[in-house]
Structure 1
Amino acid sequence: MSRHANTVAVVTGAGHGIGRAIAQRLASEGAAIAVAEINEHWGGETVERLRSAGATAHFVRTDITEFGSIQDGFAEAAAALGPITLLVNNAAFTDAGNLAGISLEAWHKEIDVNLNGTYHCIRAILPGMRERGGGAIVNISSVNALRYFGNPSYSAAKAGIINLTQSVASEFGRDGIRCNAICPGSVRTDNITWTIRQQKDPRVFQKLARWYPLGRVGEPEDIAKAVAFLGSDEAAYITGAVLPVDGGLTAGMNVMIDEFILESRND
């Protein structure tokens, strides 16, 4: 039997990039997928890909900054696919600003989408999971929550997701609900931020790779595999965990080691 044969999963922001890879991975392991996405074209495209591969999939348009939108979308997903057993909070936004120059509007938007949006989804899913006696939630945070790599508003929101993860795990474990967080490093995707950076410097991913002990940036599938594990019964005794999926970035500073420590030993 496939690992997720009995899973009904909602994946937010599943219209492209990491979210689409998560949806495809879970579907390949037997899950029925609700593609929760604000962009109807992207969401519909993901559903078409999933169905073409033989999966059960349903699109629900959602705006995670609006709690009512989430309630309605999740209710539609459950009516179409059955009770939701796995929530993957992937939808995110960043404006890549800095503290000196960021506007109040930009700060509030990043907090609203990344942190409040994650909370809205969790708040909407908990009553049903509690009533049925269990479920799993996987939140996509970031290495920016663990170290400062720029993007202060995004980083603050992603750090908040870690504490929110631990809060849910602590309060609702007795209800059979597990909640874990994944912290990706740099991931090669087609989102607008990376597209702009690549237009400025086509070698941006090669330059980033030198910071990573594994010698490369991540691929969306790297994150999807971790989600599939944490959302499965194989992780039945794991909750409140924060898992860096970052090629070793937060384990040590490769550039410092290579350019300072090792060079000094050779002097």
Structure 2
Amino acid sequence: MKRYADTTAIVTGAAHGIGRAIARRLAAEGANVAVLDIDGDGADETARILRKDGNRAQAFRTDITDFPALEGTFAEIEANLGPVGLLVNNAAYTDAGALEGMGLDAWHREVDVNLNGTYHCLRAILPRMKERMDGAVVNIASVNGVRYFGNPSYSAAKAGIINLTQSVASEYGKYGIRCNAVLPGSVRTDNVTWTIRQQKDPDIFKKLGRWYALGRVAEPDDIAKAVSFLGSDDAGYITGVALPVDGGLLAGMNVMIGEFVLESDKE
């Protein structure tokens, strides 16, 4: 028995990378998948891949910052694919640099997509889940939400997602709704940001891997597996959790420690 049989799942930001991997993982485990992304062509391609694999999927070009339109999309999803049992808030955006010199538009754009967009999706689906007294939400936050690794506006928004996850878990648990967050570190994807970085330095992922206890950055399916678990009945007594899926990055900085010890031994 597939653990998502007869379940409809929404995955935002599912045109590429992590979102596409999550959509494929959930579909492989039996879910009907609504593929949402502002990149309509990419969303269509993800849905085609899922259907080619024999799964039921539909793509929706969606701007999660536009709440009235989003609410209509969620109603259409339930009409076409059935009641939504799982929402995965994966859509994200980052482009800003250092805090000093950051423009107001850059700050607001990152917060609007990452934090407000997540809230909009929650606002659209929670009343429906509450009415059915059942449902699960998995928010994709980031290690940036608990430590500073650059990208200040993105980091602030991801920290907000972690707290929002706890708020939903606390307030909606009595309605049978669970809400958890996954905190990825660096993930090997083909998004614009990583493509540009790889063009500048083809060995960027190898160099980043030295900071992770497991010696590598994540693959998209590493994140998808964690999402699939947290959204399923296998995690039926888990809510309000912010789960690092980061190869041990937050556990400790072994490279820094090793270099510090070496310097100390010289003294």
Aligned-residue CA RMSD (Å): 1.1
Q: Which residue of 2 aligns with 1:232?
A: 232
| 1:28 counterpart residue number | 28
Indicate the larger mover: 97-106 or 151-160.
Answer: 97-106
Q: Alignment partner of 1:2: what SS?
A: coil
Match of 2:131 in 1: 131
- Taking the aligned partners of 2:139 and 2:261, their CA distance within structure 1 comes to 36
SS at 1:172 equivalent: helix
CA contact (8 A) 1:22 1:221 kept: yes
The aligned residue for residue 104 of structure 1 is 104
Could you say which residue in structure 2 is the equivalent of 1:67? 67
Determine whether 1:197 maps to 2:211: no
Q: 1:43 to 1:265 in 2, by over 3 A?
A: same
Partner residue, 1:48: 48
For 2:78 and 2:213, locate their aligned partners in 1 and report how far apart those are by CA, in whole Å. Answer: 42
In the alignment, does 2:201 pair up with 1:188?
no
Q: Contact 1:94–1:154 at 8 Å: present in 2 too? A: yes
1:96 deviates by 3.9
1:224-245 superposed Cα distances (whole Å, 9 cap, x missing partner): 0000000000000000000000
Where does structure 1 lack aligned partners over 5 or more consecutive residues?
Answer: none
Query: Which one-letter code corresponds to 2:32 in the other structure?
Result: A
| Letter of the structure 2 residue corresponding to residue 69 of structure 1 | A
Q: SS in structure 2 opposite 1:85?
A: strand
3-state DSSP of counterpart to 1:174? helix
Structure-1 separation of matches of 2:47 and 2:261: 50
Q: Counterparts of 1:140-159 in structure 2 under 5 Å?
A: 140-159=140-159
Paired residues of 2:96 and 2:107 also in contact (CA < 8 A): no
> Counterparts of 1:126 and 1:262 in 2: how far apart (Å)?
53
- The 1-side partners of 2:74 and 2:95 are apart by 28
Deviations 1:30-71 (A, max 9, x none): 111000111110000000000000110011121000101211
User: 1:251 aligned to 2:251?
Assistant: yes
Does the residue aligned with 1:14 lie in a helix, a strand or coil? coil
TM-score (norm 1): 0.98
Letter in 1 for 2:119: Y
The answer to whether the 8 Å contact 1:61/1:73 transfers is: no
Q: Secondary structure at the match of 1:223?
A: helix
Q: CA deviation at 1:208?
A: 0.4
Contact 1:12 1:90 in 2 (8 A): yes
Cα offsets for 1:151-199 (capped at 9, x unmatched): 0000000000000000000000000000000000000001111111111
CA contact (8 A) 1:144 1:159 kept: yes
2:118 and 2:262 map into 1 onto residues whose CA distance is 42
* CA shift for structure 1 position 17: 0.4
SS in 1 for 2:250: helix
Q: 1:261 is paired with a residue of what secondary structure?
A: helix
Partner of 1:95: 95
Q: CA contact under 8 A between 1:2 and 1:30: conserved in structure 2?
A: yes
Mapped contact 1:98–1:151 kept (Cα < 8 A): yes
Q: Say how many residue pairs are matched.
A: 267
Q: Distance in 1 between matches of 2:72 and 2:131?
A: 18
1:242 and 2:257 matched = no
Instruction: Write the distance in 2 (CA, Å) between the matches of 1:239 and 1:258.
Output: 36
Identity fraction in percent: 70
- Which AA in structure 2 matches 1:195? T
Q: What is the CA–CA distance in structure 1 between the aligned matches of 2:241 and 2:257, rounded to whole Å?
A: 29
Is contact 1:36-1:73 (8 Å) kept?
no
SS at match of 2:223: helix
Q: Find the aligned partners of 1:50 and 1:266 in 2 and give their Cα distance.
A: 57
Post-superposition offset of 1:260: 1.9
